[in-house]
Structure 1
Amino acid sequence: MSPIRLSDLAYTIDAVLEDSFGGKAMWVIAETSDIKNYPDRQYCFLTLVEREGNQTVAKLDAAIWRKNYPIIRQFETATSVAFARNIQLLLLVSVSYHATYGLRLEVHQIDHAYTLGNLERERQAVLDTLVRDHSQVVWLDQGQYITSNQMLDRPAVWQRIALITAPNSDGWRDFRQELANNPWGYRFVVDEYLTQIQGQGADKAICAQLEQIARADVPYDGVVIVRGGGSQLDFGAFDTLRMGVAVASFPYPILAGIGHDRNVSITDMLCHLSVKTPTKAAAFLIEQNRIFEENCLQMAYRVAEASRTALQNAREEVEWLTDRFRHGTQTYLRNRHIDLTEKATTVRHLDPINVLRRGYVMLSQEGKILTRAAQFQPGAAVQAQLADGVVDLTVAAPTESAS
């Protein structure tokens, strides 16, 4: 066989591909790899791969040209997932071939629903596994995921905190500044457990810090996990089975301040409380302590008011009892005075002197008062007591009655 020029072979390949794929577009499922994005020029080169386990079974170069470049921003906006490597996508592509640059796929569209559905399926699979295999710490109740961590008593005051975050990150900085600048002057003891919180192996690193906190034998009021905003893939560490088990079963209340309001991870769903964003996590702690202080102040006010009311009531009761005692005493003394007056009058009326003044005589013999006739003996000496003196008398013989 006679040799042919390379260009002839290239043109032949081009013709074959044009005949088979020219003007056609098809949807393919592939994983992104080796992305080279040029936003200022508005084009992007990438490699699309298909893997079975750890083995790559297909690999093709692809490009997104200027006319289709907005699909990247549309994808990120719709899914909150950064257009990056290692994402499985559903793409509308066409096949192009150039004799110099070779075979390449041109990407026209990215199916947002496929990516969102894929992420949701992966997350739902994790949640299903948690409920099925770890039902002692995660269970479903009327469509809501309930965990042991959520059932822990929340401290009335948050004073000693274990903080898990990345060192010198925006989340770390926002959280610490919000705590330090609180208008009430509350002070918090924050023990930092700094670690990787994004990327491959981040979930394992975070769980290692949780294990260290549990072993520290420090009476923490709770654990705070904070991370700044980012794409959905940046929060992958908070959606793993390992992280779900660790958070759901952790013995201290976990407060999550992760990402933005639109980001809801498995960690958010299973922790004691998710408040979103590091700043809101700090604000929550401050507000909880403020509520506690206000409750204490209100209780102190109520105690003071109750004491004042009790004292006032007691004072009024004492005054009432005093008035009643005074009135009763006066009435009693007045009645006793009347009784004494009446008795004095009676005594005066019964005084022998007064009786003698009315003409009566009191007879006595040797100091004994004589009240009966049989006591008189003839010739005996008798003293007669009159009102103005005593007269000595001699008892005469009794006079015989006339017949």
Structure 2
Amino acid sequence: MSKTTLSLYELNQQVKGALQDAFPGSVWVRAEIAELRENRNGHCYLDLVEKDEATDQVIARMRAMIWNYTYRMLKPFFETTTGQPFTQGIKVLIQGIVEFQEVYGLSFTIRDIDPAYTLGDIERRRLEVIRRLESEGVINMNKELPLPLVPQKIAIISSPTAAGYGDFVHQLENNSYGIKFYHKLFPAIVQGQQAPESITAAFDKIYEHIELFDVVVLIRGGGASLDLLCFDDYWLCYNITQFPLPVLTGIGHERDRSVADMVAHSNLKTPTAVAEFLITGAGEVLAAINSYALELKNLVRERLAKHRQKNDRLWIQLKPAARRVMSAQHNHLLRLAGKVPHVSQTVIREQHQHLDQYSKQMGLLPQTIIRQERRNLQEQVTKLRHSLTRIFTHQTEKINFIEKNNRLNDPVNILNKGFTLTYYNGKLTKDAAALTPEMEITTRFRDGSVNSTINKKQ
């Protein structure tokens, strides 16, 4: 019995004909751009995929292309409308023709794109990040940290070449109050796909020397709205919520507010606005201290003036009394001298002794009163100083208690108790049902992490 056979070319022709019959015109397709390449002729080649929403596994894949004359129009149209680059990692709604070539196989030639679909997906992912942080109860954790009274030791996360970084440092170092701020830069990439990982690494470096700083400032210069997409990354924002120091953001956009701005302790529009926030706060404290010092100075002056007036009154009252005593004693001596001439010399000597004693007592009395009042004044100053010391000590103990609670609630402490975290493709996995044999996973311990491959699942 003879077998019916086809050549490969004939088979591909039949497949091509079947596809042309099934898709005679263009179709709209939803997909994610997994890879994108532009060749020197201006053509754009793409690798389109669709992923399972539950497992994030690729369930479909197809090659696609955009001819240069179409790509020159589609790319600027998409980027102008969405405010973000036409690149890999985004979801798109595209119109094109399904084609099959005998040599190159199946492909999809793109002719049009709907930017509104991508905009909706970006906003959807942003809202998903916000809802996830809210459901985990961490979205306001950094906001609840107490801001130091005068934050002077500042850790800066920024690109060293960013104009915003230079403006921020210049503003701090040339403040009108003459306040000294200590700052250190932890360089990071602040835009693009590598930005979240780079910024998170900078936070980790700051954490290694956390006792040296009061706050963390995350800043960047101005730029397009698409540059803000990295600040909507879940893991970056989660890291900010968990950081034990207040985080201040100055990303440099007047209208847009990223998720990182939402979870930070304080968010300002620009780097210079962050600097002004720190300077103004320190200036208000300095003004309050000067005001307290002036009040204390005036209080001391008032007390001294009151005691001086009291001493003057006592001295004025003392002089007539002394004169009256001396006059009475003098008259008494005269009477004794007249009555008893033979003992006058003895009496006179005794009375002169009494007069000398009275004169000394009268001379010492004002000094004694002044010393007593001075001691009273010193006691009042000492009590005031002790009262201020107790207030500052109480506030310091309160701040230490809050910091201790924050450290006890740190997830790192949970890892130190022996618990671990399992990640697949960089995402935290909570259920064994999401894992299958041959998958490569990462297990995080308190002192590091290990990579492993699943051999068996129970």
* Inter-CA distance 201–255: structure 2 relative to 1 (3 Å threshold): same
3-state secondary structure, aligned to 2:302: helix
Whole-angstrom CA distance in 2 between matches of 1:58 and 1:30: 10
Which of 106, 113, 124 is 1:121 aligned to?
A: 124
1:49 paired to 2:48 = yes
* Inter-CA distance 34–241: structure 2 relative to 1 (3 Å threshold): closer
Question: One-letter code of the match for 1:50?
Answer: V
Please give the per-residue CA displacement for 1:302-355, whole angstroms capped at 9, x wherever unaligned: 2223333333344445555666x469x66x969x98xxx9xxxxx9xxx9xxxx
Question: One-letter code of the match for 1:293?
Answer: L
Deviation at 1:166, TM superposition (A): 2.2
Please give the per-residue CA displacement for 1:280-300, whole angstroms capped at 9, x wherever unaligned: 222222222222222222222
Report 1:350-389 matches (<5 A). none
Question: One-letter code of the match for 1:34?
Answer: L
| Contact 2:220/2:252 (<8 A) preserved | yes
CA RMSD across the alignment: 4.5
3-state secondary structure, aligned to 2:50: strand
Whole-angstrom CA distance in 1 between matches of 2:238 and 2:223: 24
Which of 59, 62, 69 is 2:63 aligned to?
A: 59
Whole-angstrom CA distance in 2 between matches of 1:274 and 1:30: 35
Which of 255, 266, 270 is 1:277 aligned to?
A: 270
TM-score by length of 1: 0.60
Please give the per-residue CA displacement for 1:214-240, whole angstroms capped at 9, x wherever unaligned: 222533111111122334543344323
Whole-angstrom CA distance in 1 between matches of 2:256 and 2:275: 18
Match of residue 6 from structure 1: none
Match of residue 291 from structure 1: 284
| Contact 2:63/2:108 (<8 A) preserved | no
Match of residue 367 from structure 1: none
Question: One-letter code of the match for 1:267?
Answer: A
* Inter-CA distance 310–118: structure 2 relative to 1 (3 Å threshold): farther
Please give the per-residue CA displacement for 1:184-223, whole angstroms capped at 9, x wherever unaligned: 4433222222133333343233223222222225331111
3-state secondary structure, aligned to 2:49: strand
3-state secondary structure, aligned to 1:167: coil
Whole-angstrom CA distance in 2 between matches of 1:209 and 1:299: 40
Match of residue 158 from structure 2: 165
Match of residue 146 from structure 1: 140
3-state secondary structure, aligned to 1:218: helix
* Inter-CA distance 244–177: structure 2 relative to 1 (3 Å threshold): same
Which of 257, 260, 266 is 1:264 aligned to?
A: 257
Structure with greater strand percent = 1
Deviation at 1:75, TM superposition (A): 1.0
Deviation at 1:275, TM superposition (A): 1.3
Match of residue 368 from structure 1: none
| Contact 1:50/1:57 (<8 A) preserved | yes
Match of residue 219 from structure 1: 212
Whole-angstrom CA distance in 1 between matches of 2:113 and 2:119: 19
Bigger Rg over Cα: 1
Deviation at 1:246, TM superposition (A): 1.8
Question: One-letter code of the match for 1:288?
Answer: G
1:110 paired to 2:110 = no
Whole-angstrom CA distance in 2 between matches of 1:166 and 1:212: 15
| Contact 2:49/2:58 (<8 A) preserved | no
Please give the per-residue CA displacement for 1:135-187, whole angstroms capped at 9, x wherever unaligned: 3xx1xxxxxx421x222221222222111222323333332233233344433
1:131 paired to 2:131 = no
Deviation at 1:37, TM superposition (A): 12
Match of residue 30 from structure 1: 31
* Inter-CA distance 87–108: structure 2 relative to 1 (3 Å threshold): closer
Which of 307, 317, 321 is 2:300 aligned to?
A: 307
Question: One-letter code of the match for 1:216?
Answer: H
Which of 65, 75, 83 is 2:81 aligned to?
A: 75
Whole-angstrom CA distance in 2 between matches of 1:46 and 1:310: 87
Please give the per-residue CA displacement for 1:339-389, whole angstroms capped at 9, x wherever unaligned: xx9xxxxx9xxx9xxxxxxxxxxxxxxxxxxxxxxxxxxxxxxxxxxxxxx
Question: One-letter code of the match for 1:243?
Answer: L
Match of residue 173 from structure 2: 180
Please give the per-residue CA displacement for 1:107-140, whole angstroms capped at 9, x wherever unaligned: 26521xx43432232223223333334x3xx1xx
Q: Extract unaligned runs of 5+ from structure 2.
A: 1-12, 52-56, 102-106, 340-458
* Inter-CA distance 206–306: structure 2 relative to 1 (3 Å threshold): same
Match of residue 90 from structure 2: 87
Whole-angstrom CA distance in 2 between matches of 1:178 and 1:129: 37
Structure with greater helix percent = 2
Question: One-letter code of the match for 1:51?
Answer: E
Whole-angstrom CA distance in 2 between matches of 1:150 and 1:248: 8
| Contact 2:92/2:114 (<8 A) preserved | no
3-state secondary structure, aligned to 2:140: strand
| Contact 2:248/2:274 (<8 A) preserved | yes
Whole-angstrom CA distance in 2 between matches of 1:66 and 1:56: 28
Which of 133, 137, 148 is 1:155 aligned to?
A: 148
| Contact 2:37/2:44 (<8 A) preserved | yes
Question: One-letter code of the match for 1:146?
Answer: N
Deviation at 1:50, TM superposition (A): 3.3
The sequence identity of aligned pairs, in percent, is 27
Whole-angstrom CA distance in 2 between matches of 1:160 and 1:196: 22
